[in-house]
Amino acid sequence: MPAKKTAKPRRSAEASDDHKSLLRELVAHLREHRTKLREEWVHRITDADLLNVMTPDEIFSEVTAVYDNYVDVLETGSVETLQAYARDLSERIIPRGVDTDEVLGIVLLLRDVLARSLFANYLQDVELLNQILDAYEPAANRIAVTVGVSFVEERERVIREQQESIRELSTPVLQVRDRLLILPIIGVLDTARARQLTEQLLGAIQANRARVVVIDITGVATIDVTVANHLVQTVAAARLMGADAIITGLSSKIAQTLVDLNVDLSMMNTVGDLQGGLEMAERLTGYRSESNAVAVSDER
């Protein structure tokens, strides 16, 4: 921070010319020692045990590209190319399981490698070294931030896309038997999806003239108050349409959560697994046609 403050007043035309010439000198230095510094960097990456999902050849070619981009940014001051490259790189390495800390780690390593080479080069002239570092540090930090942000943004984009596709996964409503529907729920239930699901279910109840609906939540990993209330609402809405709902596939963990959350499930029929749910459903539809009385007392 203090460095930044002292640098500000100096930003006259002359100082910025100085600054540019320093950067030019810096870039020339980095270009000249490209091979050596690049190898040094790869070495440090391997030593730090980063990027070990990639082969040494891959690391070397990526490293070359990043290095050249890095030097370009120092030269032109424009991060756009680097940004595009970082996005592209992230797109390639995220599916292979490269973490944020690795990406930040390698960029910071490069910064260190370059800074150290600057130290070594300008050791005799501390004044010049300071000026070079003044020019180098903000640019290097900016590059590190750019790469990090690009990586995180790319990652967030992937996550958003995946959420979208989960949401778009249609929830099929299947007719198993006359007047008996199954609704298997898989994945994350949020408010939007729960609503869509309820609408779909009610539409299917009307279209298939369903009497009993089995809602199977084996594929729902976790459940919270909101989701539980959605389920309660779905069941209540189905009942208003004249259909009884049976919830199946409550894992012991979910059952415990529901009890801990104090969700009122007294009006819901719950059965451990889908098989049991179907048996109960058949009992309900079966008894219904002969003697409702048994079914009604069973249902409770």
Partner 1 sequence: MSVAILRQGDYLIASIQGDLTDGQVLALRDDLAERVGHYRARGLIVDVAALDVIDSFVARSLRSIAMTAALRGAATVVVGIQPDVAIAMVQFDLDLAPLHAALDLDGAITLLDGRHPGAGGHER
Contact set with partner 1 (CB under 8 A): 195, 198-199, 202-203, 205-206, 209-211, 233-234, 236-243, 288-293, 295-297, 299-300
> Looking at beta carbons only, is 54 or 185 nearer to partner 1?
185
- Minimum CB separation from partner 1 for residue 262, in Å? 17
- Minimum CB separation from partner 1 for residue 256, in Å? 26
> Looking at beta carbons only, is 71 or 183 nearer to partner 1?
183
> Looking at beta carbons only, is 44 or 288 nearer to partner 1?
288
- Minimum CB separation from partner 1 for residue 265, in Å? 15
> Looking at beta carbons only, is 82 or 268 nearer to partner 1?
268
- Minimum CB separation from partner 1 for residue 236, in Å? 5
> Looking at beta carbons only, is 115 or 294 nearer to partner 1?
294
- Minimum CB separation from partner 1 for residue 88, in Å? 45
The tokens of 85 are what?
Answer: 């490259």
- 240-250 in b/e form (b: 16+ CB < 10 A) is eeebbbbbbbb
> Looking at beta carbons only, is 248 or 285 nearer to partner 1?
285
Amino acid at 91: E
- Minimum CB separation from partner 1 for residue 242, in Å? 4
> Looking at beta carbons only, is 77 or 242 nearer to partner 1?
242
> Looking at beta carbons only, is 174 or 296 nearer to partner 1?
296
Which DSSP string corresponds to the chain? -HHHHHHTTT-SHHHHHHHHHHHHHHHHHHHHTHHHHHHHHHHHHHHTT-STTS-HHHHHHHHHHHHHHHHHHHHH---HHHHHHHHHHHHHHGGGT--HHHHHHHHHHHHHHHHHHHHHHTTT-HHHHHHHHHHHHHHHHHHHHHHHHHHHHHHHHHHHHHHHHHHHS----EEEETTEEEEEEES---HHHHHHHHHHHHHHHHHHT-SEEEEEEEE-----HHHHHHHHHHHHHHHHTT-EEEEE---HHHHHHHHHHT---TTSEEESSHHHHHHHHHHHHHHHHH-HHHHHHHH-
How far is C-alpha 293 from the geometric centre of its chain's CA atoms? 52
- Orientation of helix 100-121 relative to helix 56-76, angle to 10°: 60
- Minimum CB separation from partner 1 for residue 78, in Å? 53
- Minimum CB separation from partner 1 for residue 293, in Å? 3
